[in-house]
């Protein structure tokens, strides 16, 4: 039996790395949603990288930082995959569990995994090799740059953001990926009618996602008003005092939560959230 290597701890636990607005990448002009994590590869991950990176890793020209994308570079999915097919982009794909599973289940679609964490990408390559997948590519890059210039406008059928780093401390909320400016970038790449799927195991980030997207004229909540009141996972978090919060009587009258996305396999990351007694919040929005 092989043991699944874990993702690194949540980024904000590495307090030494988050003391400044520029994180540990000196050239970013605004706070980034990640910190530098180990980039050394060993064993099977190194082997997977050596054997598969030429074929499956998009070799993007860089700007300043090593996770940047030169603004002149534009991804050509048809040339890359050798066909025209619906494109799904997973942002922050971690160890690649979700995207590799989905690529295997949906051979008629193409998948792009976007991740800054090199060992996670190497692990994704391992999965690609094990499953013999051809409909997936990976890129080591900062997601906002991928969305703002690398991907052509209106070229993506679905964007997935599953369990983004929660950045719990209030002073770190500006690092959260899902905010107004990010929503505009996702809207840019989606085809009209394209879908943005999100999931998180932290209720206050779930509320932030819902606020940002419900307020956006670019998106429509596919489950507006659903799972409200006693059916809302947010009500349960309040009532049951989950996430180490004191129990309270707040009822989530608004709802808007999606059912669990059946195309998202249960990853080791999500499993840990279940084991810790946290609830999962799913959201799904359509690009207007």
Residues sharing a CB contact under 8 Å with residue 244, sequence separation 6 or more, in sequence order: none
What single string gives the DSSP state of each residue in 131-184?
Answer: HT--SEEEEES-HHHIIIIISPTT-EEEEEEES-----SGGGGGG-S-SHHHHH
What is the distance between the alpha carbons of residues 200 and 205, in angstroms, rounded to a whole number? 7
Angle at 199 between CA 107 and CA 95, to 5 degrees: 55
Give the residue, chosen from 267, 283, 284, 285, that forms a contact with ligand SAM under the rule CB under 6 A.
Answer: 267
- Give the residue from 189, 37, 179, 38 showing the smallest Cα distance to 112: 189
115 in contact with ligand SAM (CB under 6 A):
yes
Give the residue, chosen from 114, 133, 189, 212, that forms a contact with ligand SAM under the rule CB under 6 A.
Answer: 114
The footprint of ligand SAM on this chain (CB under 6 A) covers a number of residues equal to 23
What is the distance between the alpha carbons of residues 228 and 27, in angstroms, rounded to a whole number? 43
Stretch that binds ligand SAM, among 38-46, 161-169, 207-215, 251-259 (CB under 6 A): 161-169
Residue 88 region by backbone torsions, left for phi larger than 0, else alpha for psi between -120 and 50, else beta? beta
Residue 73, Cβ neighbours under 10 Å: how many? Answer: 17
Q: Give the 3-state secondary structure of residue 70.
A: coil
257 in contact with ligand SAM (CB under 6 A):
no
Q: Catalytic positions, please? A: 165
Stretch that binds ligand SAM, among 38-46, 112-120, 226-234, 273-281 (CB under 6 A): 112-120
**Element housing 189 (H / E):** helix 180-189
Task: Give me the least distance between CB of 252 and ligand SAM, in Å please.
Answer: 24
Give the residue, chosen from 57, 81, 94, 202, that forms a contact with ligand SAM under the rule CB under 6 A.
Answer: 94
Tell me the HSE value of 15 on the side-chain side, using a 13 A CA sphere: 3
Stretch that binds ligand SAM, among 109-117, 126-134, 250-258, 276-284 (CB under 6 A): 109-117
DSSP type of residue 33: S
Nearer of residues 116 and 252 to ligand SAM, judged by Cβ: 116
119 in contact with ligand SAM (CB under 6 A):
no
Stretch that binds ligand SAM, among 46-54, 90-98, 129-137, 253-261 (CB under 6 A): 90-98
Give the residue, chosen from 112, 113, 128, 143, that forms a contact with ligand SAM under the rule CB under 6 A.
Answer: 143
Residue 155, Cβ neighbours under 10 Å: how many? Answer: 18
What mask of x and - would describe binding to ligand SAM in positions 173 to 212, judged by CB under 6 A?
----x-----------------------------------
Give the residue, chosen from 123, 126, 135, 142, that forms a contact with ligand SAM under the rule CB under 6 A.
Answer: 142
165 in contact with ligand SAM (CB under 6 A):
yes
Nearer of residues 45 and 238 to ligand SAM, judged by Cβ: 45
| Residues near ligand SAM, by CB under 6 A | 7, 32-34, 91-94, 97, 114-117, 120, 142-143, 162-165, 177, 267, 269
């Amino acid at each position: 039996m092989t043991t699944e290597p874990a993702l690194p701890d949540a980024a904000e636990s590495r307090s030494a790395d988050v003391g400044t607005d520029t994180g540990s990448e000196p050239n970013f002009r605004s706070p980034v949603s990640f910190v530098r994590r180990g980039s050394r590869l060993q064993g099977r991950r190194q082997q997977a990288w050596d054997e598969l990176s030429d074929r499956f890793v998009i070799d993007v020209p860089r700007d300043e930082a090593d996770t940047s994308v030169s603004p002149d570079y534009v991804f050509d999915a048809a040339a890359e995959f050798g066909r025209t097919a619906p494109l799904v982009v997973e942002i922050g794909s971690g160890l690649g569990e979700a995207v590799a599973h989905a690529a295997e289940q949906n051979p008629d679609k193409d998948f792009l995994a976007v991740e800054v964490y090199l060992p996670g990408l190497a692990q994704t390559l391992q999965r690609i090799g094990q499953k013999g997948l051809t409909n997936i590519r990976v890129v080591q890059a900062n997601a906002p740059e991928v969305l703002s210039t690398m991907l052509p406008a209106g070229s993506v059928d679905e964007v997935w953001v599953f369990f983004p780093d929660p950045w719990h401390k209030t002073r770190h909320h500006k690092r959260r990926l899902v905010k107004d400016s990010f929503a505009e970038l996702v809207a840019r790449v989606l085809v009209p009618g394209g879908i943005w799927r999100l999931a998180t195991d932290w209720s206050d980030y779930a509320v932030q996602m819902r606020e940002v997207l419900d307020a956006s004229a670019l998106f429509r909540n596919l489950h507006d008003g659903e799972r409200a009141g006693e059916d809302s996972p947010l009500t349960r978090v309040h009532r049951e005092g989950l996430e180490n919060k004191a129990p309270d009587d707040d009822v989530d009258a608004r709802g808007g939560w999606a059912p669990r996305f059946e195309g998202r396999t249960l990853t080791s990351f999500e499993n840990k959230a279940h084991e810790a007694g946290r609830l999962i919040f799913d959201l799904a929005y359509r690009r207007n």
